[in-house]
């Protein structure tokens, strides 16, 4: 009812529209530089001027240096100005690590069930589906085998983009299968961690992955095969409390936050200020929790060097088709240098 206007008002409103429709095209139209600002006095706010397409430019959280996404990716997601290590995807680590970027992926078909029928803001299956769409992954870990410097390696790399790299049943299963593969094929094992901890939507089932992965790592140790744990930013909660800290070599990326509970929770619990650099990789090397800090640019070289030494010193226990294959590829790798 309120939409009916008096006749005069309707006519006034319609007039400018009709004028536009009936006016012939301006003959000077083609000579006009329409993209040039014709009138002065149009002010664009500073905030709008700085607006760029999301994801194209990345601001370093440490030094605030702005880099294009492309430039950052070319530099292995490491800030070219201050060496801050931005998060890298699991698949990115595979490209970086394996000889000639060649590897075989495993267990990309495993998906989480919903045994607890968990629901918070949305139900767990919807959350999983959204995470799968966003990340292009089946869960928060990817697994592959290949060679590094000619040495056989099984890698499970976590991915923070999938529900904060949380450790659910699929993460536990994929890591376990990766370890079993290492045992069966005489490979070294590397787990790259980046995780907020356990996946609360799976409750106790998530916590059981700590025991499951740790028990399988014991099998690897029985076979005398090395386990490398690389902790990247952040490695926390149940992941730190299980496989991340069980490495024969506990490696960490520069500046990575590594701990069980976060610094804020600890500060509030003990009611005291924490020392500078608390829970950072450099602090943990000082305290003996971490063996070595490995910058991303030297990860491949460091892994190849460590494996070389171990496999050569324990050559007798590693005589298998896999290790024979290793020596062949090793020659090729040396040539490539």
In the block, which residue shows the tokens 């919807």? 126
Give the nearer residue to Zn ion in terms of CB position, either 30 or 70: 70
* Coil, helix or strand at residue 234: strand
Binders of Zn ion among residues 49 to 88 (CB under 5 A) are 60, 62-63, 65, 79, 81-82, 84
- Least Å from the CB of residue 283 to Zn ion: 20
Please compute Rg for the chain using Cα positions: 28
Give the nearer residue to Zn ion in terms of CB position, either 58 or 208: 58
Query: In the numeric block, which tokens belong to residue 247?
Result: 């490495």
Binders of Zn ion among residues 157 to 186 (CB under 5 A) are none
Contact string 242-281 vs Zn ion (x = CB under 5 A): ----------------------------------------
Give the nearer residue to Zn ion in terms of CB position, either 62 or 132: 62
CA distance 280 to 94: 25
CA distance 232 to 250: 11
Give the nearer residue to Zn ion in terms of CB position, either 102 or 297: 297
Give the nearer residue to Zn ion in terms of CB position, either 84 or 177: 84
Query: If we measure between CA atoms, which residue out of 337, 232, 335, 222 comes closest to residue 281?
Result: 232
- Least Å from the CB of residue 285 to Zn ion: 21
- Least Å from the CB of residue 40 to Zn ion: 39
- Least Å from the CB of residue 294 to Zn ion: 19
| Total Cβ atoms within 10 A of residue 45 | 8
Q: Say if CB 225 and CB 183 are below 8 A apart.
A: yes
Q: How far is the first Cα of the chain from the last one, in angstroms, to the nearest whole number?
A: 82
- Least Å from the CB of residue 255 to Zn ion: 10
List Cβ neighbours of 29 (8 Å cut-off, separation of 6 or more). Answer: none
Give the nearer residue to Zn ion in terms of CB position, either 255 or 262: 255
- Least Å from the CB of residue 67 to Zn ion: 8
- Least Å from the CB of residue 87 to Zn ion: 14
- Least Å from the CB of residue 192 to Zn ion: 22
List Cβ neighbours of 121 (8 Å cut-off, separation of 6 or more). Answer: none
Give the nearer residue to Zn ion in terms of CB position, either 62 or 123: 62
Query: In the numeric block, which tokens belong to residue 264?
Result: 């804020």
Give the nearer residue to Zn ion in terms of CB position, either 224 or 277: 277
Residues found in the chain = 337
Query: In the numeric block, which tokens belong to residue 277?
Result: 């650099």
Give the nearer residue to Zn ion in terms of CB position, either 61 or 115: 61
Number of residues that bind Zn ion (CB under 5 A): 8
Sign of CA dihedral 249, 253, 255, 261: negative
CA distance 251 to 10: 75
Binders of Zn ion among residues 207 to 226 (CB under 5 A) are none
Query: In the numeric block, which tokens belong to residue 150?
Result: 């000619």
Strands ordered across the beta sheet of 104-106 = 104-106, 141-148, 151-158, 188-195, 227-235, 249-252, 292-293
- Least Å from the CB of residue 84 to Zn ion: 4
- Which residues contact Zn ion (rule: CB under 5 A)? 60, 62-63, 65, 79, 81-82, 84
């Amino acid at each position: 009812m309120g939409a009916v206007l008096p006749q005069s008002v309707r006519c006034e409103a319609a007039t400018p529209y009709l004028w536009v429709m009936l006016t012939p095209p301006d003959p000077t139209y083609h000579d006009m530089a329409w993209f040039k600002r014709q009138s002065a006095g149009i002010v664009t706010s500073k905030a709008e001027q700085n607006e760029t397409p999301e994801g194209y430019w990345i601001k370093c959280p440490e030094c605030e240096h702005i880099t294009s996404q492309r430039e950052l990716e070319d530099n292995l997601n490491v800030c070219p100005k201050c060496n801050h290590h931005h998060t890298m995807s699991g698949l990115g680590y595979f490209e970086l690590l394996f000889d000639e970027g060649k590897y075989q992926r495993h267990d990309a078909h495993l998906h989480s069930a919903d045994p607890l029928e968990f629901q918070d803001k949305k139900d767990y299956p919807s959350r999983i589906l959204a995470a799968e769409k966003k990340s292009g992954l089946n869960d928060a870990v990817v697994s592959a085998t290949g060679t590094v410097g000619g040495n056989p390696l099984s890698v499970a790399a976590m991915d923070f983009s999938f529900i904060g790299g949380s450790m659910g049943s699929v993460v536990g299963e994929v890591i376990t299968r990766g370890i079993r593969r290492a045992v069966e094929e005489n490979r070294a094992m590397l787990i790259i961690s980046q995780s907020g901890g356990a996946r609360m939507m799976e409750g106790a089932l998530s916590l059981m992955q700590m025991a499951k992965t740790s028990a399988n790592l014991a099998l690897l140790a029985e076979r005398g095969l090395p386990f490398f744990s690389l902790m990247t930013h952040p490695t926390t909660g149940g992941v730190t409390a299980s496989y991340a800290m069980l490495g024969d070599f506990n490696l960490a990326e520069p500046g990575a936050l590594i701990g069980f509970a976060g610094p804020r929770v600890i500060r509030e619990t003990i009611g005291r200020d924490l020392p500078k650099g608390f829970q950072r990789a450099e602090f943990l090397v000082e305290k003996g929790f971490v063996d070595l800090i490995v910058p991303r640019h030297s990860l491949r070289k460091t892994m190849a060097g460590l494996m070389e030494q171990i496999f050569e010193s324990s050559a007798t226990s590693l005589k298998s088709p896999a290790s024979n294959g290793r020596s062949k590829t090793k020659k090729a790798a040396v040539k490539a240098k």
